Amino acid sequence: AFTGRAELNKTSLALGNLLRETVDLLAVRTAAGSATRPEFVFEIADQLPEVWGDAGQLRQVCMNLVANATDALRGRRGRIFARVTPQRVPASTANSKRFQATMPDAPPLGVAPNGYVCLDVEDEGSGMNEETLSRIFDPFFTTKPGGKGLGLASVMGIVRAHQGIIHVESSPQAGTRFQVWLPSSTGVERPPPTPSAQQRGAALLIDDDEMVREVTKSMLELEGFEVLSAENGSRGLALFAERDVQVVVLDLTMPDLSGEEVFTQLRARRPELPVLFTTGFTSHEASERLLQHPRVALLHKPYRLQALKEHLERAIGPSSS
């Protein structure tokens, strides 16, 4: 799964080849686990420009989108269209309410000096309604039983880290189409590191919920932190004693030591340590008391990357980007 590594190992790569390799791998897995496999229809443009990106992360984008398309068929026969073409973002897409809601902070559409390469995955599956569409990029949202809800949130994070753009269209019983535009690398020099690649030191994440730890770890890494994860307060305090930590993301309610108890011990060791509390409760008896301390913020679960970023800035201050 995507871990949101702070360091992007970018090279110039052929997105079409990456997509084919991913589909071939998933086709083998699907054939082994099901009597019915989807029909993949490739449309890879000739003389396709390369893109500047991290091969491992972009492979993960392809893997998630193709796997979601396969799941959408629900074991039925159907087609999955896998396309890679040199293409601008259509004005109709950029002006749509869906696009603006999904990517309100999208880069200017003319930012890529040599245009974009579009990765396009479309299925003939069950589709999604408006309510589901509005939540598919939320880190804690999933429609799959037992799923962790990290797939499309990680796709969004990777696309943003590559200065790309993502758009989805879907309706019930009419299938789903994901389009990802990535800047072409043809004829351009390697760009400077993006803000997401800037190291901001270590963040200590303390939460007893495994899914929350996994998702929040990915978010923090995307923001440039090395993340130390702890499943309870005692483990968190032990990690804190071993490492120089820039910020602590701390769950208020845990079975071992409470967030307030952990906070008291942390601040006894470092009085100015920035702490971001998280809670799944609308109100918490300790929250008002804790917010009286300096360099403290409170974030309610579930949260998106932008909300986490804003609350981190309240506690630790903005990044140097």
Per-residue pLDDT reduced to its tens digit, 234-249 = 999 999 999 999 999 9
What is the per-residue pLDDT across 132-143, written as a single tens digit (0 to 9) for each?
888 888 877 766
What is the per-residue pLDDT across 200-233, written as a single tens digit (0 to 9) for each?
899 999 999 888 888 888 888 878 899 999 999 9
Give the CATH number of the domain where residue 176 resides. Answer: 3.30.565.10
Give the CATH number of the domain where residue 255 resides. Answer: 3.40.50.2300
Is residue 2 a part of any domain in this protein? Answer: no
Q: Are residues 151 and 33 in the same domain?
A: yes
Among 120, 151, 183, identify where a domain stops: 183
Is residue 166 a part of any domain in this protein? Answer: yes
Q: Residue 55: which domain range? A: 10-183
Number of independent structural domains in the chain: 2
Summary mean pLDDT of the chain: 82
Residue 197, pLDDT > 60, answer no
Is residue 189 a part of any domain in this protein? Answer: no
Judge if pTM exceeds 0.85. Answer: no
Is residue 20 a part of any domain in this protein? Answer: yes
Q: Are residues 211 and 176 in the same domain?
A: no
Is residue 193 a part of any domain in this protein? Answer: no
Among 157, 183, 209, identify where a domain stops: 183
Predicted confidence at residue 256, as pLDDT, reads 87
Higher pLDDT, 52 or 222: 52
Question: What is the 3-state secondary structure of the chain?
Answer: CCCCCCCCCEEEECHHHHHHHHHHHHHHHHHHHCCCCCEEEEEECCCCCCEEEEHHHHHHHHHHHHHHHHHHCCCCCCEEEEEEEECCCCHHHHCCHHHHHHCCCCCCCCCCCCCEEEEEEEECCCCCCHHHHCCCCCCCCCCCCCCCCCHHHHHHHHHHHCCCEEEEEECCCCCEEEEEEEEECCCCCCCCCCHHHCCCCEEEEECCCHHHHHHHHHHHHHCCCEEEEECCHHHHHHHHHHCCEEEEEEECCCCCCCHHHHHHHHHHHCCCCCEEEEECCCCCCCHHHHCCCCCEEEEECCCCHHHHHHHHHHHHCCCCC
Predicted confidence at residue 113, as pLDDT, reads 52
Is residue 4 a part of any domain in this protein? Answer: no
